[in-house]
């Protein structure tokens, strides 16, 4: 390659993760004092570069975060430091721009987070040296193939329909959940089925007033869909004289909205308070290192007992404290159980820790009435208002957020045996998300108000089935008791994750066909194919022939299945962006003959 030719880099998918990769690349290039011509091509399906679909800035204010303001920061303190002077975290940016509800425990509208992300992106652009050119492409990447050592990124521009083909030397993939398959039956009429709800004002506009709507899922996306069909259509939530939230109809919302899911359980809400100071007691450094040395391990026999003990410890720490006592941890768990036994003898009215009651209180109930669900939601709201420092239940479920980073290290790259890997993906992942990453309390209060107003109906939440019928392209929603109702619209409010049986997205099908990626298989003890691509510890894919490709890196959602829980806004979880930026910088230096090694750890060239 001629050194006078611009070195071209592609980032496919430019939401927060794409921006993080871009920011790290700019920092490494600046530190290495690279003055040669460089082109960075950014590919995104919409104009909301850095914000992506989740944080796009044209969505309504009532679609809010489930992540308190204190946890949001687009910048990293790792060296090399950002090229932007005085980069600001989210709260500082909110205050600088006089944006209300800027407190650490507040939950901002998602569009406000998008505005912050775009501001950060534009700040990096403005700080780039003249030798670095950024080219944005709004459209869909359909194929990437290798030719003469380079990678051709091809697709179609949005609206124009024109095709593009950009040649790159390095490529970072940060595409979202589009790489995974839809979870709604494809035999259902597309005119009455909504497979993806964002942007809600566009995707949900075909739902007519006074219609009957089924919402598949009962998580954060389902709440967004329900609010978009009510508050988003002019309905108003107001507190009455007793401080209870009531819903005032606009007459434009559906007649009934029926959420349904496998367990039928809503997410546990949060109140925005700081995470409790309770430290993990059983996932000690020594234990964790021992677990890592024994990979692959069994989830049920090795990890789950430790998780239960951490929940138990947190539950009783708060319960004891509420009654003026101190709960002591001990390596001998029976010592802790004896403390609990004596405590309950003195306080027989106090709640008792019960794992099953926490994770699935209606496990043995095949059908749940709307009233039972309503009472359960009221209980969850009351517990969330108390917070982690005062509610034993909330203290227990919050422990997963502390365990999660440790668990990710154990889980990733085949850390669980195949049977455990499958069980975690199909059951425990959703369970822990429901317990620990729920919506703000006020959103759950809105769900309760809608239920009391007769619009939100919980009668079909658990184990419902939906099937098309021949009446006006409608559907039938039914449960095991035989209870059924006619549905006019079906909304998929689940987030697709990696599943077995190949890649559904056209881009990933083509990458597979071109031999650039292959499916990951966990073949320890038994066999499990999670439906994700195989990567190494730096995010580089393994090709069809088993060769690691250092010119391509995957980061974020595309790595789920071989890594766990890629938090959209996290700068630290499974951070393949830093290695990618460093290796890209090294490749440019090698091309130009300046050095054979760029050792960032010693900060020398």
What digits encode the pLDDT tens for the residues 145-178? Answer: 999 999 999 999 988 778 999 999 999 999 986 5
DSSP H helical ranges for 412-440: 418-423, 429-436
Whether 515 maps to a domain, the answer reads yes
Cα(41)–Cα(533) distance, integer angstroms: 24
Give the Cβ contact number of residue 432 at 10 Å. 21
- Predicted local distance difference test score (pLDDT) of residue 160: 76
Kind and range of the H or E run holding 447: helix 441-452
Closest CA to 449 of 203, 253, 213: 253
Clarify whether residues 169 and 317 are in a common domain: no
- Cis? peptide before 296, omega within 30° of 0: yes
- Predicted local distance difference test score (pLDDT) of residue 161: 75
Burial of residue 43 (number of CB atoms within 10 Å: 0-12, 13-18, 19+):
buried
Cα(321)–Cα(166) distance, integer angstroms: 62
Domain end (from 436, 465, 481): 436
Domain end (from 455, 477, 492): 492
Whole-angstrom CA distances from 335 to 303, 317, 321, 329, 339 are: 21, 14, 18, 8, 6
Clarify whether residues 432 and 477 are in a common domain: no
- Predicted local distance difference test score (pLDDT) of residue 443: 97
DSSP secondary structure letters along 265-309: PPPPPB--PPPP-PPPSSS-HHHHHHHHHT-SB-IIIIIHHHHHH
Q: Cβ contacts of residue 141 below 8 Å, gap of 6+?
A: 12, 43, 153, 154, 155, 175, 507
Clarify whether residues 504 and 516 are in a common domain: yes
Whether 272 maps to a domain, the answer reads no
Q: Cβ contacts of residue 354 below 8 Å, gap of 6+?
A: none
Q: Cβ contacts of residue 269 below 8 Å, gap of 6+?
A: 380, 381, 384, 438, 439, 440, 441, 443, 444
Clarify whether residues 225 and 76 are in a common domain: no
Cα(54)–Cα(497) distance, integer angstroms: 16
Whether 244 maps to a domain, the answer reads yes
Q: Cβ contacts of residue 230 below 8 Å, gap of 6+?
A: 247, 250, 253, 257, 450, 455
Cα(10)–Cα(43) distance, integer angstroms: 8
Residue 518 has phi, psi (to 5 degrees) of -145, 160
Clarify whether residues 295 and 384 are in a common domain: yes
Q: Are 88 and 74 in contact (CB under 8 A)?
A: no
- Predicted local distance difference test score (pLDDT) of residue 500: 57
Whether 581 maps to a domain, the answer reads yes
**CA within 13 Å, CB half, 59:** 29
Q: Structure pTM?
A: 0.93
Whether 279 maps to a domain, the answer reads no
Whether 399 maps to a domain, the answer reads yes
- Predicted local distance difference test score (pLDDT) of residue 498: 62
Cα(35)–Cα(33) distance, integer angstroms: 6
Clarify whether residues 407 and 507 are in a common domain: no
**CA within 13 Å, CB half, 201:** 12
Q: Residue with structure tokens 């194919």?
A: 529
Give the structural domain span for 116: 7-180+499-602
Q: Cβ contacts of residue 80 below 8 Å, gap of 6+?
A: 27, 28, 30, 31, 600
Q: Are 225 and 491 in contact (CB under 8 A)?
A: yes
Whether 1 maps to a domain, the answer reads no
> What angle, 0 to 180 degrees and rounded to 10, lies between the N-to-C axes of helices 392-411 and 370-386?
90
Domain end (from 492, 508, 531): 492
Q: How many domains does the chain have?
A: 3
Clarify whether residues 373 and 445 are in a common domain: no
Whole-angstrom CA distances from 229 to 184, 189, 285 are: 20, 20, 48
Clarify whether residues 117 and 237 are in a common domain: no
Clarify whether residues 465 and 426 are in a common domain: no
Clarify whether residues 258 and 324 are in a common domain: no
Residues of the chain with pLDDT under 50: 1-3, 179-183, 596, 600-605
- Predicted local distance difference test score (pLDDT) of residue 499: 61
Please work out, in degrees rounded to the nearest 5, the angle formed at the alpha carbon of residue 439 by the alpha carbons of 118 and 457. 125
- Predicted local distance difference test score (pLDDT) of residue 275: 84
Clarify whether residues 169 and 217 are in a common domain: no
- Predicted local distance difference test score (pLDDT) of residue 187: 52
Q: Is the dihedral of CA 203, 208, 269, 116 positive or negative?
A: positive
Cα(605)–Cα(602) distance, integer angstroms: 9
CATH of the domain at 163: 3.50.50.60
SS3 183: coil
Tokens at 165, concatenated: 């083909």
Whether 66 maps to a domain, the answer reads yes
Clarify whether residues 519 and 487 are in a common domain: no
Q: Is the dihedral of CA 205, 209, 213, 216 positive or negative?
A: positive
């Amino acid at each position: 390659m001629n050194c006078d030719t611009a070195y071209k880099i592609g980032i496919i998918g430019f939401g927060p993760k794409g921006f993080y990769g871009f920011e790290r690349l700019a920092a490494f290039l600046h530190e290495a004092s690279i003055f040669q011509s460089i082109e960075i091509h950014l590919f995104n399906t919409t104009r909301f570069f850095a914000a992506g679909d989740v944080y796009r800035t044209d969505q309504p204010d009532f679609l809010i975060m489930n992540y308190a303001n204190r946890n949001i920061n687009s910048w990293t303190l790792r060296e090399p430091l950002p090229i932007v002077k005085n980069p600001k975290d989210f709260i500082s940016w909110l205050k600088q721009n006089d944006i209300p509800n800027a407190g650490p425990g507040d939950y901002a509208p998602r569009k406000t987070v998008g505005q912050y992300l775009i501001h950060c992106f534009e700040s990096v652009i403005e700080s780039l040296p003249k030798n670095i050119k950024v080219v944005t492409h709004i459209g869909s990447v359909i194929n990437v193939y290798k030719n003469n050592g380079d990678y051709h990124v091809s697709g179609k521009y949005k609206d124009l329909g024109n095709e593009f083909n950009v040649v790159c030397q390095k490529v970072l993939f940060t595409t979202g959940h589009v790489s995974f398959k839809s979870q709604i039956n494809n035999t259902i009429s597309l005119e009455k089925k909504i497979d993806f709800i964002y942007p809600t004002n566009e995707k949900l506009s075909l739902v007519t007033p006074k219609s009957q709507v089924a919402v598949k899922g009962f998580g954060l996306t389902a709440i967004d869909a329900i609010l978009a069909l009510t508050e988003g259509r002019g309905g108003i939530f107001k507190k009455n004289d007793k401080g209870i939230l009531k819903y005032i109809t606009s007459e434009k919302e559906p007649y009934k909205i029926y959420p349904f899911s496998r367990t039928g359980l809503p997410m546990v809400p949060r109140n925005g308070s700081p995470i409790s100071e309770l430290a993990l007691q059983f996932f000690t450094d020594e234990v964790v290192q021992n677990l890592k040395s024994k990979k692959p391990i069994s989830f049920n026999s090795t990890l789950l007992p430790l998780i239960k003990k951490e929940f138990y410890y947190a539950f009783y720490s708060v319960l004891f404290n509420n009654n003026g006592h101190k709960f002591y941890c001990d390596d001998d768990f029976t010592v802790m159980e004896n403390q609990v036994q004596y405590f309950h003898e003195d306080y027989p009215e106090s709640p008792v820790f019960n794992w099953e009651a926490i994770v699935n209180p209606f496990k043995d109930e095949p059908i749940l009435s709307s009233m039972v669900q309503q009472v359960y939601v009221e209980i969850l709201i009351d517990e969330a208002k108390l917070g982690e420092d005062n509610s034993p239940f909330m203290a227990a479920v919050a422990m997963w957020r502390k365990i999660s980073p440790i668990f990710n290290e154990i889980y990733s790259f085949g850390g669980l045996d195949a049977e455990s890997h499958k069980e975690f993906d199909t059951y425990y992942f959703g369970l822990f998300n429901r317990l620990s990453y729920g919506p703000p309390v006020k959103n759950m209060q809105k769900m309760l108000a809608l239920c009391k107003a007769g619009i939100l109906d919980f009668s079909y939440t658990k184990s419902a089935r939906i099937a098309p019928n021949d009446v006006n392209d409608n559907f039938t929603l039914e449960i095991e008791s035989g209870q059924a109702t006619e549905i006019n619209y079906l909304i998929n409010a689940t987030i697709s994750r990696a599943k077995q049986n190949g890649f559904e997205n056209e881009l990933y099908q083509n990458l597979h066909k071109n031999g650039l990626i292959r499916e990951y298989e966990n073949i320890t003890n038994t066999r499990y194919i999670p439906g994700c691509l195989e990567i190494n510890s730096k995010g580089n894919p393994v090709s069809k022939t088993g060769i690691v490709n250092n010119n391509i890196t995957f980061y974020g959602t595309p790595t789920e299945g071989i890594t766990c829980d890629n938090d959209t806004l996290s700068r630290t979880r499974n951070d393949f962006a830093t290695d990618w930026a460093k290796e890209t910088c090294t490749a440019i230096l090698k091309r130009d003959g300046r050095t054979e090694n760029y050792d960032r750890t010693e900060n020398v060239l």
